[in-house]
Amino acid sequence: MRTQVAIVGGGPSGLLLSHLLHLQGIDSVVLEQRSRNYVEARIRAGVLEQGTVELLTEVGLGDRLRREGLVHDGTQLYFGGALHRIDFHALTGKRVTVYGQTEIQKDLGDARDRAGGAVIHEAEDIAIEGIEGDAPLVRYRKDGVDDALRCDFVAGCDGFHGVSRATIPAAVLKTYERAYPFAWLGILADVPPARDELIYSAHDRGFALASMRSATRSRYYFQSSVGENIEDWSDDRIWEELKIRFGPEVAATMQTGPSIEKSVAPLRSFVAEPMRFGRLMLAGDAAHIVPPTGAKGLNLAVADVRVLSRALVAWFKQGRGDLVESYSATCLSRVWKAERFSWWLTTLMHRLHDPASFERRIQLAELEYIVGSKAASTALAENYVGLPF
């Protein structure tokens, strides 16, 4: 089989890239290791930067997003026994929208169906060859039959554990990583959110986050140990811990119910450089991971794909190679700023030291400075709603 762009990975970044290329008349084939049902059922984050919403709307993927997405003008910080609101819209003129990654995945899958896009699910044993030449080959097995895809470029959108990043020679690839000494214990339940906006709590017992997927489905997290056993946490025990960490005002409006899903997730920061080697480009989690505190993971993937689609359009339609050459540097500039923000917010909000320590007092002093300073509040807000891309 021959195509212009082989896309390894059928998550949001891979399908969005395929959709963007289709709108410009560029052929692509998506290879995804998992089934469509599996990919669409994965529970992921869903706080979208304004730039992400604008892009999805611009390319015809905004109808259900507009109907069902929850637009947030700000967020709440809880510390020292009180809630403090950061007004994103007043400070930056921008907003964020809560719309689950699961729903974006479904919207993208439906769009590729309508366009007759080639998406091959359950493609096994994917291997990428020839990326230093001008005609890479992607081998795979489907239904027990070996096949191959010849292409001009390969887009590696297959996540942290995918084959794409491992294809870049070890002598070329440089990785940067930080593993955090805590995890997030999360619960998903069909109960209304405690507030209309997200709440970030910096409690002495540890961080907590009140989030949501819709007006009737809530997602809560709290800081736990990396080796925490989820079996030790009944629903009732989780709800009681959350009420403590959000304080009595929020606890009074927090509705509880049986969990749909519970999990313990470790946190890490990770960046791979370069994001391009020869005819292979990495995008999304294949190139970088951020802790979920700043809600940057999906948004960074969308930004990568937008830059990549522009580079490929310039190559195929204008005969220009400059945007392909600069792809890695362009993306990494934004990636590192998002990594910085996610690291900063993570270290600011989580319990890293004893409540009576000097370091804890510094955390609280910085939080007080943020909510008391327009400049500091603006810096938080402009990073949260999303830097330009």
In this prediction, residues 131-135 reach a mean pLDDT of 97
Residue 54 lies in a domain: no
Residue 301 lies in a domain: yes
- 109 pLDDT band, cuts 50/70/90, is very high
Q: Which domain holds residue 131?
A: 5-44+100-177+268-345
Residue 83 lies in a domain: no
In this prediction, residues 254-268 reach a mean pLDDT of 96
Dihedral pair phi/psi, residue 182, rounded to 5°: -155, 170
Three-state secondary-structure class, residue 334: helix
Look-up: residue for tokens 């994001």?
275
- Global confidence as pTM: 0.96
We report the CATH number of the domain holding residue 38 as 3.50.50.60
How far apart (Å, rounded) are the C-alpha atoms in residues 302 and 204? 35
Residue 136 lies in a domain: yes
- 44 pLDDT band, cuts 50/70/90, is confident
Q: Where does residue 288 rank: exposed (0-12), middle (13-18), buried (19+ CB within 10 A)?
A: buried
pLDDT at 41 over 90: no
How far apart (Å, rounded) are the C-alpha atoms in residues 304 and 251? 39
**Rg of the chain in Å (alpha carbons):** 21
Residue 37 lies in a domain: yes
Residue 335 lies in a domain: yes
Residue 220 lies in a domain: no
- 389 pLDDT band, cuts 50/70/90, is confident
Indicate which residues carry an active-site annotation: 72, 200, 292, 296, 384
Supply the pLDDT for residue 31.
98
Residue 32 lies in a domain: yes
| Count of domains forming the chain | 1
